[in-house]
Amino acid sequence: MTEAADNETPAIKPTTSELSFRNVLDHILAHWGVKRMGHRLAPGLYSLGNPTPASPVFVTANYTLSFDALRTSLKGIDGYILVLDTKGVNVWCAAGKGTFATDELVRRIEETHLHEVVSHQVLILPQLGATGVAAHEVKQRAHFKVEYGPVRAEDLPEYLKTRKATPEMRRVHFTLKDRITLIPVDLVVLLIPLLLLSLIGAWGPVAALLAGTVLFPILLPWLPTHNFSTKGFILGILVALPFIIFTFLYRPDLAWWSKAAWSLVYILLIPSITAYRTLNFTGATTFTSLSGVQREMSRYIPVMAWMFGAGVLLNIVLFFVG
């Protein structure tokens, strides 16, 4: 390849603010965990509408849902979208993983010859990507100033009027709708285990898995304590209570000691399974920090493991002795 070809400005890909049927289908499949890491588009520079050299430049991840959320929020706005290669991971998670990062941003600026495309040196990044990008390094290395826009892309049109984010635009919300969105992708992973447990009549573990996957994100703000593990233990105990009540009231075939032993099995197994499942949501919520999650896992996972192991062992003993 010649030097002239190497220096040629890469093609700018056109896009729109409208979602096609294929885009909608992609969103549905992503929410249900189908091809979990396959919802990505090619990194590079995209044009939205009919941008000029003075048009704003927005930066996002190459996760299709992140890209689509941005472009659909910019209806009627001409601009450029610089897409980073985050391996198909959303902005927030990619910033934590180090792919929505300073090096990648500088690389894309250089590869797309952005200096030749726009007449200004300003990039608008999503606020949730701030942990991965050092603005002063981008300024020093690529000569572009980084502006952090609002948390949600839908606030960008208002933000562009003043280039200032209001306190409300900076506030991260985690509504019921946001929490319910997390359920399908985690539920799909459990379909086979749930089916197998149902076939052998292990309804306690089935209830524990469903509680940790479905009930927990719904009830999250209202469960007491500050960490996910103890929230999960509390929810697990509540789920175990109906099984204990049923055992004492509707199992006349069991001796009192057997009822007590089976109740102990439920107390050991269900809360430990539910609590373990709740840890899956630590990276998808606004309730935790990386250091907090690490401390929580080191403290509570051994407790969950011991409870689960003891519950399984006692269950096996009761299976043979009644």
CATH (domain of 11): 3.40.50.11600
What local confidence, expressed as pLDDT, does residue 288 receive? Answer: 64
**Low-confidence residues of the chain: pLDDT under 70:** 1-9, 283-291, 322
Q: Report the domain count for the chain.
A: 2
Report the pLDDT value the prediction gives residue 290, as an integer from 0 to 100.
62
Domain end call among 156, 172, 188 = 172
Task: Please give the structure tokens belonging to residue 226.
Answer: 């500050």
Q: Provide the domain limits for residue 108.
A: 3-172
Query: Buried (b) or exposed (e) across 272-291, using 16+ Cβ within 10 A?
Result: bbbbbbbbbbbebeebbeee
For residues 209 and 116, membership in a common domain is answered with: no
- Give the C-alpha separation, 110 to 91, whole Å: 20
Last residue of a domain, one of 147, 172, 197: 172
pLDDT of residue 43: 97
Residues 118 and 215 in one domain: no
Please enumerate in sequence order all residues whose Cβ is within 8 A of that of 247, keeping only pairs 6 or more positions apart, or say none. 254, 259, 262, 263, 266
Same domain, 270 and 288: yes
If asked whether residues 15 and 164 sit together in one domain, one would say yes
Residues 163 and 105 in one domain: yes
The reported pTM is 0.79
**Residue 291 confidence (pLDDT):** 67
Are 168 and 188 within one domain? Answer: no
pLDDT of residue 135: 95
Task: Single out the residue in 106, 139, 172 at which a domain terminates.
Answer: 172
Task: Please tell me the predicted confidence (pLDDT) of residue 260.
Answer: 96
Per the CB < 8 A criterion, the answer to whether 185 and 284 are in contact is no
AA identity, residue 209? L
**Co-location of 22 and 137 in the same domain:** yes
- Do 191 and 152 share a structural domain? no
Same domain, 19 and 158: yes
